[in-house]
Amino acid sequence: MQFDENILKIIEKSEERCKDKFAKMERTALFNQNKVLDAFRNNNIGQRHFAQTNGYGYDDIGRDTLCKVFAEVFGAEAAIVSPLIVSGTHALTIALYGILRPGDEMLAVSGAPYDTLKEVITGDGIGSLKDFGVSYRQVDLVNGAFDYDAIKSAINDKTKLVFVGRSRGYEWRDALDVREIGKMAKFVKELKNDVIVMCDNCYGEFVDTLEPTEVGADIAVGSMIKNIGGGIAPSGGYVCGKKSCVEQIAYRLTSPSIGMEVGSYAYGYREFYQGLFLAPHVTLQALKGSVLFGEVFDSAGYKTMPRPDGECKDIIRSIMFDTEEELIAFCRAVQKASPVDSNVTPFPWDMPGYEHQVIMAAGTFVAGASIELSADSPIKAPYIAYLQGGLTYEHVKIAAAYCLESVLNNK
Ligand SMILES: *Cc1c(COP(=O)(O)O)cnc(C)c1O
């Protein structure tokens, strides 16, 4: 390869240290692949489910069955999987609006929800939840764990929905373990049994053998252009969970009078099925890449999260740089190592929905898909790059060489 001997040596040595972690993650992928196969088999998936539909889409067997397959994979009663959902933010938004009513309170228990939800929850005069009379409370994590005492005192008569983010967002912390989310769900339900526990599951799917809906969350929500779309799904979002919740959310996605009885897709559903089939393996590729990046940058003297002795609970690798220059050099190297738009130089810009300027590297086949190798970083100290994805481990390994070389040259 075209890299300096030293760079290649660091990559190879780092990879050696990953072996045990790789083996464990491979067992998880095998388990999840079997889970997906079972769901396909139990629903007798055939070519007819991939068909294009148009108009209202009554009795759209491709749509209806896709929802059933997802529900089974997530151990949930029902699901909505739809290309009509434009992104993860949209899926989370319809879930919140579907469940919450005027006078209700939303309680976030893992700190602030993902950046793009801020305006949704507390924006002024834009039809936010606040505008509709839904109040909001927040309990932060303490050392990356739930603050049970604070959660207990925050719950009151108005609390309707408890929100938890499985992934780390733009924070220097590990993602939450699914079992911890289950414990928290049990805890809040013991305090108030009609509370709905909702989990932002973005970047968490198939990282573990369990999903939040299997351990007590009422709904799990995510994007189809992350883990669960396997790099194949062209767009969309999903909501899985209790039938009563999913129904309310379907009324918000379409209309209270029609719910999920309608919705066609002239492009056909094959990519959603195929993407789900590939997702356990693709998630494994991304996870192996994340572990390798962790070892490589740790050995080069940078702090990474999870720590080298820690476990991956989402697909993100956070790497802390000393300067803005290193951070930008890192993101540019990710772009340069991409199969698409490798000639493009990313710059920090004011992205809609984000507070700080953000630099994004995403040389992806599906525009902006972050199950494909990508990096994004808000431009603020400390300078943390959030790297995720990779359809093949080989690609991520090559990118690690590009990134290390670029960062060391910009030290
Ligand atoms: C990606 C993501 C979302 C939703 O983002 P979109 O870009 O709208 O798909 C929400 N929460 C987390 C933790 C995410 O990673």
Which ligand 1 atom minimizes the distance to the CA of 168? Answer: 13
The answer to whether the CB of 272 falls within 8 A of the CB of 236 is yes
Instruction: Give 202 Cα–ligand 1 centroid separation in angstroms.
Output: 6
Distance CA 210, CA 394 (A): 27
19-42 vs 5-17: helix axis angle to the nearest 10? 60
Q: How far apart are CA 310 and CA 306, in angstroms?
A: 5
Residues 6 or more apart in contact with residue 47 via CB below 8 angstroms: none
Contact 198, 178 (CB under 8 A): no
Residue linked to tokens 């009609």: 194
Q: How far is the CA of 56 from the centre of ligand 1 (A)?
A: 29
CB 14 within 8 A of CB 408: no
Q: Quick count: other Cβ atoms within 10 Å of Cβ 103?
A: 12
Q: Which of 200, 227, 387, 388 to mutate to test the pocket of ligand 1 (most atoms within 8 A of CB)?
A: 200
Task: Provide the residue-wise pLDDT of the chain in tens; the chain has 411 residues.
Answer: 789 999 999 999 999 999 999 999 999 999 999 999 999 999 999 999 999 999 999 999 999 999 999 999 999 999 999 999 999 999 999 999 999 999 999 999 999 999 899 999 999 999 999 999 999 999 999 999 999 999 999 999 999 999 999 998 888 889 999 999 999 999 999 999 999 999 999 999 999 999 999 999 999 999 999 999 999 999 999 999 999 999 999 999 999 999 999 999 999 999 999 999 999 999 999 999 999 999 999 999 999 999 988 999 999 999 999 999 999 999 999 999 999 999 999 999 998 877 889 999 999 999 999 999 999 999 999 999 999 999 999 999 999 999 999 999 998
pLDDT of residue 171: 84
**Cβ neighbours around 149 below 10 Å, total:** 10
Q: How far is the CA of 89 from the centre of ligand 1 (A)?
A: 6
Number of alpha carbons in the 13 Å side-chain half-sphere of residue 93: 19
**For position 336, what pLDDT does the model report?**
98
Span from the CA of 193 to the centroid of ligand 1 (angstroms):
28
65 Cα–ligand 1 center, Å: 25
87 lines ligand 1 (CB under 6 A): yes
As given in the structure block, the two tokens for residue 124 are: 């002024």
**First-residue to last-residue Cα distance in the chain:** 23
CA–centroid distance, residue 203 to ligand 1 (Å):
8
Task: Give the pairing of strands 237-241 and 317-321.
Answer: unpaired
Instruction: State the pLDDT at residue 239.
Output: 98
316 φ/ψ sector (left φ>0, alpha ψ -120 to 50, else beta): beta
Q: Which residues contact 263 (CB under 8 A, 6 or more apart)?
A: 57, 60, 63, 82, 84, 254
d(CA 172, ligand 1 centre) in Å: 17
For residues 402 and 329, give the distance between their C-alpha atoms in angstroms, rounded to a whole number: 10
Ligand 1 pocket residue status of 229, Cβ below 6 Å = no
389 lines ligand 1 (CB under 6 A): no
Q: Whose CA is nearest to atom 12 of ligand 1?
A: 202
Closest atom of ligand 1 to CA, residue 88: 9
Peptide bond into 256 cis (omega under 30): no
Distances from the Cα of 197 to the Cα of 73, 113, 315, angstroms = 19, 14, 23
Instruction: Note every long-range contact of 5-12, with CB atoms under 8 Å and residues 24 or more positions apart, other chains counting.
Output: 7/401, 7/404, 7/405, 7/408, 8/401, 10/296, 10/299, 10/300, 10/404, 11/292, 11/296, 11/397, 11/400, 11/401, 11/404
Indicate if ligand 1 lies below 6 Å from the C-beta of 202: yes
- State whether the beta carbon of 204 lies less than 6 angstroms from ligand 1: no
What value does the CA radius of gyration of the chain take, rounded to a whole number of Å?
A: 21
